[in-house]
Chains A and B, each alone.
Chain A
Amino acid sequence: MRLYAAVLVRGFRRYATYRTATLAGVFTNTVFGFVIAYTYIALWRVRPHLGGYDLGQAVTFVWLGQAMLMTTALFGGFEAELIDRIRSGDVATDLYRPADLQLWWLARDIGRAGFHLLGRGVLPMAAGGLFFPLVWPASPGVWAAFLLAVALGVVISFALRYLVALAAFWLLDGTGIVLLASLAAIFFSGMLLPLTVFPGALGVLARALPWSALLQVPADVYLGRDTGARLASALGFQAVWAVVLLGAGRLVQSAATRRVVVQGG
């Protein structure tokens, strides 16, 4: 356990050293926040209460998206590095380490996410709050539930990307699937538009897929739309996906390990 805590801290620190890059990223998030917020304002002016949000909630959704973009790694993260290790064969040595491969990368990714939540999340949100009337959760309970939802979102994001990375054991070229995965993450997380605005069956499908746990679910928790039983079922939805995807990751990992052992590393 101490080992994973150390890995987690190292993951956090690794990103904390790039201060200029972080500020530059905050600037970019803020610019995009502005642009998208105005398109939402135009849409919600014509269609108030679209998707069940009022104008203030819709704009808040935009800035939440910018704040969580990096935290739940919608554009991808560690998987490129892991794929490189798989391709070069370095992963064989990783598999023989006393640390579990999945937990090791998970700890590191949680450390990274922790930094991104603080470094890339707080400032864009503050910038949004400065220029737009955002909704702020009134009770500490909502904040706590939101943070829990974000944490589950981070784990699900990790579990998905871990599966993607492990595919490199069988695929010759990992770029295709990585690209596909980030397309899915951006589209089905609610990053482009809240999933409640998606039409008909597409909306139903999108809300059932695990990617909705990356932004849509935490945002709804933040906006106070989910309380009581609905809150429990939202968090439960995330927890189920987290367990399922981490489990799938374990299964694939052991298959991959067998493969490495058979090939002689």
Chain B
Amino acid sequence: MDAAQLEKDVSEIAGDWKNKEGNLIMILHRIQSKYGYVPREVSLEISKHLDIPLARIYEVITFYNYFKLEPPGKCTISVCMGTACYLKGAPTLLNELERVLGITEGQTTKDGMFRVEVVRCLGCCGLAPVLTVDGKIYQGVKKNEIGEIISKYAAEENGGNGGHKEKP
């Protein structure tokens, strides 16, 4: 990341909040919506800018599930682990995703293509088990459909059908 640009970004975002109480969380929110995650260089810059120890920033980032320390994949696959989905076999779906992609929950594949994360209840328990890919809902998913879903997105990213996403 370009150091000067980074300093400008942080200074702009932090500037709005500089002397307000509870500013760290607000700033981290803004950073994450800008970059998709909170890069270490940015945290170091915030630390300098606001005179907050880096350790405190990481305490906050890792305390809240919402903040990410790794870049999101091009596709984010979220598996719902709410009670209904859990009982309807969400853990099996997660295992299968982890097996096929070779990563664990919270990680991104080496090629930066897929990120897998766990979410709590998406609010559509009637469709359980549910997973979403980039916000698009797949309902009543079965273990043997996982491979198919992944290859579809992989193919799209490789220019298969011009980025057009079909309905499942």
The reply to whether chain A is a binding partner of chain B is: no
